[in-house]
Each structure stands twice: as C-alpha cells, then as structure tokens.
Amino acid sequence: MFDFTNNTTVVTGAASGIGKAVATLFGQQGAHVHLLDMNQEGLDGAVQEITGAGGNATAHLADVTNQGGIHELFQQIGKIDVLINCAGISNIGRADNTTEADFDKVYQVNVKGIYNCLHAAIPLMLQHKAGVILNLASIASRVGLSDRFAYSMSKGAVLGMTLSVARDYIAAGIRCNCISPARVHTPFVDNFIARTYPGKEQEIFDKLSKSQPIGRMATPLEIAHLVLYLCSAEAAFITGCDYPIDGGFINLNTP
C-alpha cells in the first residue's frame, strides 16, 4: 500500500515543519521528491535526510510568489504526478489592526503562491491526464479564530481554490483535496511563542496545546500520514474534499 515508486512529487515549504515531514514520508514511500523552499540550509538538511535513508530527493531554492520562476522550475522538473502545497505564513491581527502590508504579504504567499503552483502544474498534469493536488488549508477556513484575520482569509481562499480545481479537472483525471489541521507542533510554533511571549514559553505552549480537545498539538508526521493517503492510489475515489485533522477542535469544542 501507498507505493509511490516512479512517482514525481513536488512539495512546497519543504524545508521544515509539515512540508519537511511530508517530503520525507513520500521519499520513504519511493517517490522522487522535489523540495521547494526559500531556506537553503533547511532544504539541504531535508534532502540529506531523505537520500541518507535511500530515497530520491532534489532541492530547489524557490519563491512561490514568483510566477515566472515557478513556471520555469516546473518545466524543468517535467512530469509532475503529485503537487503538495505546504508553503505558508501566519499573521496575528484583527481586521482593524492588520496593516495593508501584512495583509498583502499573507495573500502573496498563502493564496497567490498556491495559485502560481496550480497554474504551472496543471498543464503538465493535463498532458498525461492524471495528477493529484493536495493543498494545506486550516481549521481557520471553517471556524472563527481570534486575531487571525489575514490568515483566515487566506485559508478560506485555499478551500475555495481546492473545490474549484477539483470541479474543473475531474474529467481530466486530476484529483484535488485539502486538509485542515488545528495547531501542529513545528519550529514555527516554538519560534512564535519565544518571540511573542518571552519568559512564558511553557505556559503558552500548554495553553495552545489544550485548545485541542485531545489535549495536545499534532505532530508534523501525523499530518503527513493523511497527506500520503489522500495522494495515494488507495484514495483514487476522493476529490473535492476538505479533511479536518484537528484533535476534535471543530466538532468537540464547546462555545
């Protein structure tokens, strides 16, 4: 099961966190993984980990907000079987105190970045009448989160793009789904807590962990396992769906 031998998989945001876990897992399952990120050191470490375990991986220093650069890179890669859009950034703020610059920055990465990758990958998939796309959305596309105005906007757009692509290309053999994690314990979370709440790191970490009814954050690997399934041949009947992976956050939290 979950055999990706002779499969070419592109993962954005692959230098750390969820993207790195996804790329590593796909490498273990036989895919040739192309890792995209703007963090060269993180990319090199991820590729070394994959190839050191016998996998096949190639690093690409890439900016998903640059449409021309993404098109050129995808043309170089050639046939793409799976595209996994993990690249994204967060932002703290409400509608009245989010600056235009911050709003635009989140939009450029989280929305336009995915659009650019879709715009470049789908024509390649159409050539072979096959392909799988998995976008990283968030529980923020389903529920209201405090102080996450721009981030929630972007993840709502990810859900909308996912459904649109699934509808438009279903007859062409292209599947498109997204997943909506709650909080995941990544280096981003640790850095955010240390930067925003110095001296209260453990207190804030515990508070954020307990906001999931299950009592903890997810691990990147737990997210990667769901991604692997949805992109596999075993999930061939699944398209146009959003899968919460949230420790009960959406349905079990009381108002």
User: Same structural domain for residues 159 and 213?
Assistant: no
CATH number of the domain at 232, please: 3.40.50.720
- Indicate if 148 and 24 belong to the same structural domain: yes
Q: Are residues 77 and 202 in the same domain?
A: no
pLDDT tens-digit map of 74-126: 999 999 999 999 999 999 999 999 999 999 999 999 999 999 999 999 999 99
Number of compact structural domains in the chain: 2
Both 157 and 224 in one domain: the answer is yes
The 3-state secondary structure of the chain reads CCCCCCCEEEEECCCCHHHHHHHHHHHHCCCEEEEEECCHHHHHHHHHHHHHCCCEEEEEECCCCCHHHHHHHHHHHCCCCEEEECCCCCCCECCCCCCHHHHHHHHHHHHHHHHHHHHHHHHHHHHHCCEEEEEECCHHHCCCCCCEHHHHHHHHHHHHHHHHHHHHCHHHCEEEEEEEECCECCHHHHHHHHHHCCCCHHHHHHHHHHCCCCCCCECHHHHHHHHHHHHCHHHCCCCCCEEEECCCHHHHCCC
Q: Is the pLDDT of residue 255 over 70?
A: no
**In this structure, are 152 and 174 located in the same domain?**
yes
| Share of residues in the chain with pLDDT > 70 (%) | 99
Residues 151 and 176 in one domain: yes
**Domain check: are 151 and 193 in the same one?**
no
Q: Range of 206's domain? A: 183-217
Q: Which tokens go with 68?
A: 């021309």
Catalytic residue annotation: 151
| Phi, psi of 133, deg, nearest 5 | -125, 135
Q: Shortest CA distance to 118 belongs to which of 160, 72, 151, 70?
A: 70
pLDDT of 192 reads 84
Quote the pLDDT of residue 254.
64
Could you give the percent of the chain with pLDDT greater than 90? 96
Q: What is the pLDDT of residues 193-252, one digit of tens each?
A: 998 899 999 999 999 999 999 999 999 999 999 999 999 999 999 999 999 999 999 999
Same domain, 85 and 98: yes
CA angle 190, 193, 198 (to 5 degrees): 120
CA distance 161 to 163: 6
